[in-house]
Structure 1
Amino acid sequence: MRQPRCGLEDPFNQKILKYLLLGRWRKKHLTFRILNLPSTLPPHTARASLFQAFKYWSNVVPLTFREVQAGWADIRLSFHGRQSTYCSNTFDGPGKVLAHADIPELGSVHFDEDELWSEGTYRGVNLRIIAAHELGHALGLGHSRYTQALMAPVYAGYRPYFKLHPDDVAGIQALYGKKRPRDEEEDMEVPTVPPVPTEPGPMPNPCSGELDAMMMGPRGKTYAFKGNYVWTVTDSGLGPMFRVSALWEGLPGNLDAAVYSPRTQWIHFFKGDKVWRYINFKISPGFPKKLNRVEPNLDAAFYWPFNQKIFLFKGSGYWQWDELARIDFSRYPKPIKELFSGVPDQPSATMSWRDGQVYFFKGKKYWRLNQQLLVEKGYPRNTAHSWMHCHPQTLGTTRSTGDNTSSATGITLNTTSSTMETTLNLDH
């Protein structure tokens, strides 16, 4: 009875079902809002844990979850301690009751702020697992009699490769039905994360250092890559941070370049002497392949919609590549400065963005080029400030006026494959 547990009462008198049903939502597209975050986790880590908690359920039932930044939401998540003006069910300090939630169509999910919330470690209380448990209540599940089920009343500790118990799945599907293949296209508009490794590598700081790659990906989402991690850049700030291999299975970290082509819907990733091709988040058959016609260890790449070509960069040179036609690469590489005026050699990342302009990144700065590929006045500017929304105290500099050039809205995972066959691969 003294073990850390959920604040909801245990079920009684269950003679048939192993799980208790508390009710259900009368719609399948739900919104959620994160009102605040715990102080014991970096914001991007805490958000990733909460998003994964939603994903456990949307993976098995035809429900979608969309985050809203302001106003009313169906499900509202918040952290508070013993003294709270907006929760009559107060918490009891570290240990004991960890969190509690309302039944469907009330939507409140509360976490004890006094807990040591954690991720990727056996220390403290795992936010991802507890959040998934409380969301189970918010979706209509009571407690399970199986001790290994997510919906068991007592917290069983951190499980790095956690999966829903069959009793959890049976309970939620009794409420909302099974997920059908066509539901994949309507999946939750938040990122997904695979099981967290027991010893995850250190997450990079988006406010310091140099990016490995940037790209405007499918559905206009802006992705930033650094080390083994990737995150989205949005108008309101940064999306959660994930391991690269969590979103693109089989893809290594520390990439050289990344580029998405709206023309073919292919994403090409470059590292060393290899290239990987994905359609959304599913790898194309036969990849990775070896780069034979382009030099290895590229610096950057971007897709230019005005000529529907991909530009590849290394050192002071560039290649122009047509994905669907055979190109004579014997004339390449050509000098970067012949086509791109005012940009540095050896860019760390390049990207063509939705405003029709091209961006070069190097070190802590970025350059914006107009449609004539000329650097605009007032550049370079600070990447951390203008793209990563970093605060002045994080940057260690005075906040200056700059354009807000970032955009995207979360990650939508879509593993739809394509029947398009390429007529040119870089290994020809």
Structure 2
Amino acid sequence: FKNELLIEADEISGAILKFQKFSGLKQTGYMNQETEAMMLVPRCGVRDIAETELQKRIRRYALLGKKWHHLNLTYKISKYSKHITHKEVEHSAYEAFKKWSDHSPITFTKVLPNENADIDIRFATGFHKFDNDPFDGPNGILAHAFPPEVGMVHFDDDESWTFNKKEGMRILEVMIHEFGHIIGLAHSHSHASIMFPYYKSRSPKLNISDDDINGIHAIYGPNPNEPTTTTQITTTAEEGPTTTTKTPEVSICDDSNYDAMLMHSSHMKIFRGKYFYNIFTVKNETERNLISLTFPGAPTDMDAALYTMGRALFFKDDNVYSFLPQGQRYYLEHGYPKNKATLFPGIPSRISAAFLRQHKTYFVATNGDYYSGPSEVEGITPVKPSNLTIEHLPILIDAVFSWGLHFTYFFCGRTFYKVHGTIPTIDSYGESQIFLLKCEY
């Protein structure tokens, strides 16, 4: 019994130590006045993510490992607050979204409450039927949001929300934070970051920090109209100084947002943004290329990819692109791009992945549903809902590829899941960057 108490005490001390570390407090491992005070501060209900080894070395943003695959997002306010007016809620939502759109290529457009929208904003209290995460009343959990592309954000209306006032809970500050989750940012342990999980009354201007901006740039890149950083390079005295504009590249080892994958011959292609990465499984090498150089006319930030019947198919929004190999490059097949619903009647409007498995073509909808059709994709290929279920596999999938007839690999954020069997089950899982790219942390 004494040993059990010692183990329990060690676990409590360890938990306190982790809390103090993430919150930027002095790490003592025991409860003190400073730690207790921080625990009582109202905060966001989204769970904190443990630090990666990279974050232990440098203070930096954290990512949820998810992104929106289209950038013109719509939002609606399904239920308003009882503490502030409709106009105040709408103005706060507009200003909060603008903080992120000013530094990214994403746009946010408000639609009516009865219309379909990418993002659904709702004020609720206690247990609310839209998720299994009830609110706890005043001065506790302020709000919670879901990652891309679920698009739900809820605010606890038992809080005393205020608009443009010093007292109460300032709705704008909390909205900026929650909308950061909506577009893929996790909690930051930097106190200056708007993504710090605990409520802090900030200046009325309420600008997001450099840490927040770096995070959103890592996922989507900068706003095309946003000034980029400049570097002065001095050449010769006759030429004078030259200013070169540079946008820092984010290593694929630091960010696991994969758009799509293709498996062909002895190597794999991972697509992200305007680049793709060749993974040579035989040589154990990786190289990065511009999509436009190898696949002229192909979309960037694509939704899904599939190699079938000797051609590479790329899916982006409502279109499908077909590329045929020609040496080291591919060329766009005549008549493409085509409307994907015409080629694949029954396909969901938004997909996150496509793959071949056991003589069928599967599409993964962004809500986690599966659709399937014949494996030989040529001409018009009807697609219908599938009863494929894989226990313990996350709903939100980034990319999928199949290895032969037996194994299928699903990628979700930083984690991959190896699935096999006629009745699909998870065989193993691990960290995708280490598995695919041999990244070192």
Short-chain TM bin: 0.3 to 0.5
TM-score w.r.t. structure 2 length? Answer: 0.40
Structure with the larger RCO, 1 or 2 (CA within 8 Å, 6+ apart): 1
TM-score w.r.t. structure 1 length? Answer: 0.42
- Larger fraction in strand: 2
